[in-house]
Chain A
């Protein structure tokens, strides 16, 4: 029963993976304007700005030279971590590499106009990668204490319970088909139309677009029941679904 050392251990393995990533689409190259807007967003939904990795998309900018270093510094000052740049001219690519950032080629599908209000037709997803049309996320199973689940681009659906000490965040709505005992934050990018829905309310904290209520502030009669949470006149309104 001696110790066998024959198993050669490898230091790492490469794995392909699809990770949810927030894309920061720049419509201005002015670091000051970016700073102002970030400061406003930060006060609305501080939970989102926790060293969140972002890809800076400069496809909409028609400028061959960017103050990329200053833009990155502004982002980091607001607890956003730029990890890569998408699109832009060759000098932009070179300066991204010089800053230790990755560079992605421009998106092939023509980017949607931010100003357009009409919902675009769902784009065909790549054959082998089923991506929900809305950018939402579905989680099956219990979200446990200490775990954090984020849907940075859409709705979050949890089929199971969210336990005390867990946190679920979504740019859109949060649906919990089970007991909600942890924290739920909807509309983390400031969408005031977002809502929270759950089967059984025991939440530590509810927040829609930065407006929040703690467990202590919630009418005890609503605890344990199925509810929806919406923003009405800058106040969280909790209504029974029964």
Chain B
């Protein structure tokens, strides 16, 4: 049985797809058979971030509507053997997704994979609710700003009430906080919320902290998940995050502002 993990946030543009791609890549690099599903029907992005946009033939909606088999729609990643991508449809909308259809796809994938990552669309409507409905664990992506924190809080409320585990009164979904675009210098200046404030408001376990990094933008545009960029701070932070997801204890990095370390990062290969 696969573990189903939803990557969600409520707010758009906080780094859900980047994080889903990076975590899926990290899990596969550690030897886990992993599939990442794009639930953002109508606004397909995951294929670009994963660099497989030229190989999309069939998509999630085709599979749900019986127009293609799951094997036809799954795209094998070029860089990591254990990693597959199930893209979203760009020409349909979220109404094309049905609860039963999604359940069937997840059940079939469960037989072959260790991890299923669901990349949720923004918002709290149908697409987002379907992406989280069958999840065992949730990674809630939050930026250090008040609106993002409030939207994450709202999503946490939905995770505790509008999911299969909640409706069947099973063990609740395991919730993890992933803070992205963290800039310790701006936190020090008071421009951004600090780590402790976010943790206090959301009151869930911190799984990772991704520093604001040029490597992320570069990775997105090149279609290579940032986890592959082992020299970058963001790549290392995602690798740490994956280790914590797998149950390992890893000390937190990149959360403190030190002038020295910034200099050494500039000269020490932060850029390539």
Contacts and interface: CB of A to CB of B under 8 A. Distances in A.
Nearest to B151: A145
Interface residues of A, number: 19
B201 A1 contact: no
A4 B63 CA distance: 12
B153 A165 contact: yes
Given A1-B71, A2-B69, A146 B203 contact: no
B205 interface: no
B250 interface: no
Contacts of B100: 9
Interface string A145-157: 1110000000000
Interface stretch (B51-59, B102-110, B255-263): B102-110
Nearest to B158: A146
B107 A4 contact: yes
B57 to A, nearest CB: 16
A18 interface: no
A146 B156 CA distance: 10
Find the residue from A1, A3, A144, A165 having the highest chain B CB count within 10 A.
A144
A207 interface: no
A145 B151 CA distance: 8
A182 to B, nearest CB: 10
Nearest to B107: A4
A105 to B, nearest CB: 29
A64 B157 CA distance: 47
Interface residues of B, number: 25
Given A142-B203, A163-B201, A3 B70 contact: yes
A1 B111 contact: yes
Contacts of A3: 63, 66, 69-70, 104-105, 108
B145 interface: no
B154 interface: yes
A164 interface: yes
B104 A164 contact: no
Contacts of B66: 3
Nearest to B157: A144
A117 interface: no
Interface string B150-176: 110110111010000000000000000
B112 interface: yes
A5 interface: yes
A112 interface: no
Contact of B154 (A1, A9, A146): A146
A142 B202 CA distance: 8
Contacts of B107: 4, 7
Given A1-B70, A9-B100, A165 B108 contact: no
B253 to A, nearest CB: 27
A164 B201 CA distance: 9
A160 interface: yes
Contact of B108 (A2, A147, A163): A2
Contacts of B103: 9
Interface string B136-155: 00000000000000110110
Interface of A: 1-5, 7, 9, 142, 144-147, 160-161, 163-165, 179, 181
